[in-house]
Structure 1
């Protein structure tokens, strides 16, 4: 078996470098142009929620937060969500794989609302990433910050900087184990719908893009080692279930 990229011969750094170049993007985001403006968010005993949120609605939502379930009732929302996931799958390193989105929770952040740097837990079997969709919201602050190796990798403002946050839905995706934080909301209300992005049940142990030559290259490189040992530190934090 031959490989066109000669960097794999420089063990181990060539293979590692090749793998890093072919890895999916750590985080991405922007305007969710496949989604309708309004998800048709419906909360039991409250009805359909209008957007952007106003204080009176937020008070009612808080009062029902422990008892009322929420769901989107706009039939075009789920179709748009599937399309959004399909388009971004290749950028995550899963081109051609029918990734699935499962709604985890709906969050409302008011003035002072934030969370400190942390990692998400694996909420679903086969979960690979977290998708945050922000429907039209009027607020200041509340940026989602993604960290890598202790440094800021991405900062998602969900359309605040270009003035579209109140009029269009925006999204951010990050790997499930990525460290992230939410900066304090200084004014207004931020609505967020959080989804788990998962592999289909039959593909929970699927590797990334099957067109990669990296696994084969790694196998060849290891077979050529002579009485050598090495340690390869992984950049992701895997759960026992995922491994």
Structure 2
């Protein structure tokens, strides 16, 4: 076999592969939504511990002060970078090394949450093919907010943001999202004891000012 024959076979194989790929893509369902907000099916206390102290839910003033002391001012993504906006105080974050989740049920709760996200995405909810990875815990005080931004890629392969809102009485703090020129969406985490939100990283997200309470 000469070189020209080999090149023809390679081109033929490439055409077959492209044809198979197009057929596979054509069999997919219509794309799902680019966001989601749902109450969590089961109410499970994650049993958050900071400095060997169990943080009670809803948050008390004492536990809030503890979280703020251990944490630091929150950062946010801007394209491929992460920045801290000193003009927006009262939004705090704790790195995963700063706290523990000790509930033996929480892992199952997160698996159920990932399955629900996969269903939103019109993927197989029994075998989503992805998992959630803890990045940080955020604490919002009265007056806290986040300006519009896009989430930076935190880990290789990250393709969406998942937020779990734990129960804590507050007003304000609506989450606003917008993908390209699609209509804006507003999510209210006051509804339900536990809830979760997710969106794709191309989405611009914003947290409106908190009027009272803590989240």
TM-score, normalised via structure 1 length: 0.62
Is 1:42 aligned with 2:49?
yes
2:66: which partner in 1?
A: 60
CA distance in 2 between counterparts of 1:87 and 1:65 reads: 30
CA–CA distance in structure 1, aligned partners of residues 167 and 139 of structure 2: 12
Q: How does 1:41-190 map to 2 (within 5 A)?
A: 41-43=48-50, 45-66=51-72, 69-95=98-124, 96-150=127-181, 152-160=183-191, 164=192, 168-190=193-215
Give, in angstroms, the shift of residue 46 of structure 1. 4.9
Q: Contact (CA 8 Å) 2:169, 2:190: kept in 1 or not?
A: no
Higher relative contact order (CA 8 A, sep 6+): 1
Q: What is the CA RMSD across the aligned residues, in angstroms? A: 2.3
> Which deviates further from its counterpart, 62-71 or 50-59?
62-71
Asked whether the equivalents of residues 44 and 109 of structure 2 are also in contact (C-alpha less than 8 Å), the reply is no
- Greater displacement, 141-150 / 74-83: 141-150
Residue matched to 2:6: none
**CA–CA separation in structure 2 for the residues paired with 1:188 and 1:180:** 21
Alpha-carbon distance between aligned partners in 2 of 1:112 and 1:83, rounded to the nearest angstrom? 33
Q: Per the alignment, do residues 152 and 182 of structure 1 end up closer, same or farther by CA in structure 2, a change over 3 Å counting?
A: farther
- Shift of the alpha carbon at 1:112? 0.5
- Residue 150 of structure 1 and its aligned partner are, at CA, apart by 4.5
Structure 1 residue runs of 5 or longer lacking an equivalent are 1-17, 191-243
Q: CA deviation at 1:142?
A: 0.6
For residue 104 of structure 1, give the secondary structure of its aligned residue in structure 2.
coil
Residue of structure 2 in register with 1:203 after alignment = none
- 1:144 deviates by 0.9
Instruction: Number of aligned residue pairs: give it.
Output: 165
Alpha-carbon shift at residue 26 of structure 1 (Å):
0.8
Computing the radius of gyration over CA atoms, which structure comes out larger, 1 or 2?
2
Runs of 5+ unmatched residues, structure 2:
1-25, 73-93
Secondary structure of the corresponding residue to residue 159 of structure 2: strand
